[in-house]
Structure 1
């Protein structure tokens, strides 16, 4: 799932079912997670940045001490695409690698 074509509502619902930590916020999906500590949170951001560059798809990231918030949307498509869900899965992997919940 890496297409930049805008997804239908049914496709979005199905994709969100596979990513239970993510929620819909209008034309975006978002997730908040707590890392064990600030250095772990920064490592997650670095890992996500590498994936974002590889996919050429960059999430909004907010870091507050050990709390991370990620927001994804494909602005050029005017909503959610497969690329958002691919990036969300990679963010989940980076969080798991640092034991963030």
Structure 2
């Protein structure tokens, strides 16, 4: 493997047109497959493992009854998406089609925790120790096992009274329905940074962001 097969974000958008079942979210290629049964989901899981072994490039797969949540990124390329990720995604899509598994773009989500702070270095170590996380090159924190939400620090000289918020990543194609429902329920939406992210405030002022891959 090399680190020279990174794909620039401008090129990736066009390349993903050939992979309609996949989306780039929070720096990874992601999809969700729904099988007809738990047994067929396990069969697809086995097929994905075989494809990964042949490619010597291994995705993250989370099995939930008849659903498989799949993501891939190249850790040896600094966490970038590479040609290997696109090739593996294509192979997984073919194997899913052979088993008649259905892509569920509406279930693709990634959740991260954002913390407002005027001094990230003063608190990074506490969060890393408490959660057993590792600091990343960009200053964020990540679960070494890849299971729990990442934590990133939003630097601001005037931290919000509600310092913690969730970033809920959804495909841009699915975001309009989410935002429409939030608005109908009375949530306050700040769309000044849309479609990259929309800040939602609930009825008690707690904030979370609906983030998409657009204009990031």
Q: TM-score, normalised by structure 1?
A: 0.92
| 1:95 and 2:87 correspond | no
Larger CA Rg, structure 1 vs 2:
2
Instruction: Deviation per CA, 1:58-97: give whole Å up to 9, x if none.
Output: 0000110001110010011121001001000111111111
Aligned CA RMSD, in angstroms, stands at 1.5
Which residue number in structure 2 is paired with residue 15 of structure 1?
Answer: 15
CA distance in 2, matches of 1:17, 1:63: 26
Q: Which has the higher helix share?
A: 1
Superposition deviation, residue 3 in structure 1: 7.0
Question: Are 1:33 and 2:50 counterparts?
Answer: no
Instruction: Please tell me whether the aligned partners of residues 74 and 80 of structure 1 are also in contact (alpha carbons under 8 angstroms).
Output: yes
Give ranges in structure 2 of 5+ residues lacking alignment.
103-216
Answer whether contact 2:2 2:77 (CA < 8 A) is retained: no
Could you list the structure 1 runs, at least 4 aligned residues long, displaced by more than 3 angstroms after superposition.
Answer: none
Contact map agreement 1:3 1:81 (CA 8 A) in 2:
no
Q: Which of the pair has the greater relative contact order for Cα pairs under 8 Å at 6+ separation?
A: 1
2:70 maps to which residue? Answer: 70
Partner of 2:54: 54
Query: Cα–Cα, structure 1 residues 38 and 26, in superposed 2: closer, same or farther, change >3 Å?
Result: same
What SS does the aligned partner of 1:20 have?
A: coil
